[in-house]
Amino acid sequence: MMSDEQRRVLDPERDTAALKALTHPLRIRLLGLLRQDGPATASELAERTGESSASTSYHLRVLAKYEFIAEAEHRDGRERRWRAVHTLTSWSNEAMESSAAGRAYVGMARRRQIEYLEVSLVRHEADLAAGRLGQEWVEPSGIGDLMPRLTPESLAELWDVVDGKLAELTARDADDPRAARVVLVTAGLPLAPLADAPADPTVSASADAPADPEGTS
Handedness of CA 167, 169, 174, 177 (dihedral sign): negative
The answer to whether 88 and 8 have CB atoms below 8 angstroms apart is yes
| SS3 (DSSP) at 64 | helix
Phi, psi of 201 (to 5 degrees): -65, -15
- pLDDT by 10s per residue, the chain, length 217: 455 568 889 888 888 889 888 889 899 999 989 998 999 999 999 999 999 999 999 999 999 999 999 999 876 667 899 999 998 888 999 999 988 888 888 998 899 889 889 989 999 999 999 999 999 999 999 999 999 999 999 999 999 999 999 999 999 999 999 999 999 999 999 999 887 666 554 443 333 333 333 333 3
C-alpha 60/C-alpha 75 separation (Å) is 18
